């Protein structure tokens, strides 16, 4: 039985992952924004088999509250074995191009808040010398594209930060897992109409996360075929890439 903290717990991928962990009988602590949704989730996860479920509503963009929120979670669980950081917003690329305050908001939500949380968590895990930190980044962070480079910048920062953290925490026996989902059918992407073969369900991503932690992987593309797609995309020379409409 593991003590698991899920940050951004009401996101579709986080909830699907929480359900898998609940069915395995773990202890869960949910941190998210919407109290009504958290309450529904907690009751649901308990029925699905979680040993215990606690939750707290918190605005993750208020960085000053991170330390206290993490302390409360660690206390309630009586320690930490696994942390999943899953919150994020897709943002509006066009709006960001017109207004830097929108860009700043996106970077705060998708990158800076994650970095703040990881700064606290890294010290905790480093001291305890065991456990897993799993962070949801995105394939969008692998290369900048005109259609969503603000989101991509934030996710790219998360990818790089977790890479460095993995290097630092390796000697302490702590796993740092960077999860890079492709297109996922969630409320965050509900506005996108045509969903083709490349789209995956939150449940599929959740299975990749749970198995990635169990196998102590470093980086997981979810679903797996994105590793090939992104290898091709990263391999295109910049002088060609800049002319593409991506």
Q: How far is the CB of 145 from another protein (least distance, A)?
A: 25
Cβ contacts of 101 within 8 Å, gap of 6 or more: none
Give whichever of 79 and 187 is closer to another protein, judged by the CB atom: 187
Of residues 61-100, which lie at the interface with another protein (CB under 8 A)? none
Contacting another protein (CB under 8 A), which of 1, 25, 34, 146? 34
Give whichever of 193 and 238 is closer to another protein, judged by the CB atom: 193
Give whichever of 44 and 126 is closer to another protein, judged by the CB atom: 44
Asked whether position 128 contacts another protein by CB under 8 A, the answer is no
Closest CA to 118 of 169, 58, 189: 169
Closest CA to 155 of 104, 198, 107, 117: 107
Asked whether position 23 contacts another protein by CB under 8 A, the answer is yes
Contacting another protein (CB under 8 A), which of 37, 120, 145, 166? 37
- Whether the Cβ atoms of residue 151 and residue 140 lie closer than 8 Å to each other: yes
Of residues 183-212, which lie at the interface with another protein (CB under 8 A)? 187, 190, 193
Give whichever of 39 and 123 is closer to another protein, judged by the CB atom: 39
Asked whether position 214 contacts another protein by CB under 8 A, the answer is no
Q: Say how far apart CA 221 and CA 242 lie, in whole Å.
A: 24
Asked whether position 40 contacts another protein by CB under 8 A, the answer is yes
Cβ contacts of 179 within 8 Å, gap of 6 or more: 134, 135, 136, 137, 205, 208, 209, 212, 219, 220, 222
Q: How many CB atoms lie within 10 A of CB 51?
A: 14
Closest CA to 227 of 210, 239, 212: 212
Residues contributing to the site for another protein (CB under 8 A): 10, 12, 23, 34, 36-37, 40-41, 43-44, 47-49, 187, 190, 193
């Amino acid at each position: 039985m593991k003590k698991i903290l899920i940050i951004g717990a009401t996101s579709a991928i986080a909830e699907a992952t929480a359900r898998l962990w609940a069915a395995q009988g773990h202890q869960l602590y949910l941190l998210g924004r919407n109290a009504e949704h958290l309450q529904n989730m907690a009751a649901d996860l308990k029925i699905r088999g979680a040993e215990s479920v606690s939750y707290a509503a918190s605005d993750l963009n208020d960085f000053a509250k991170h330390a206290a929120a993490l302390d409360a979670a660690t206390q309630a669980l009586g320690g930490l074995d696994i942390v999943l950081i899953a919150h994020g917003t897709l943002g509006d690329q066009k709006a960001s191009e017109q207004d830097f305050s929108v860009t700043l908001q996106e970077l705060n939500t998708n990158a800076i808040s994650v970095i703040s949380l990881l700064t606290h968590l890294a010290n905790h895990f480093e001291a305890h010398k065991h456990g897993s930190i799993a962070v949801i980044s995105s394939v969008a962070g692998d290369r900048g594209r005109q259609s969503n480079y603000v989101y991509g910048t934030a996710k790219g920062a998360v990818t790089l930060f977790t890479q460095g953290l993995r290097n630092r925490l390796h000697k302490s026996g702590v796993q740092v897992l960077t999860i890079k989902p492709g297109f996922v059918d969630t409320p965050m992407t509900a506005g996108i109409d045509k969903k083709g073969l490349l789209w995956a369900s939150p449940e599929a991503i959740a299975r990749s996360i749970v198995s990635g932690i169990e196998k102590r992987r470093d980086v997981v593309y979810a679903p797996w075929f994105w590793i090939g797609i992104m290898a091709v995309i990263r391999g295109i020379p910049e002088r060609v890439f800049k002319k593409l409409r991506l």
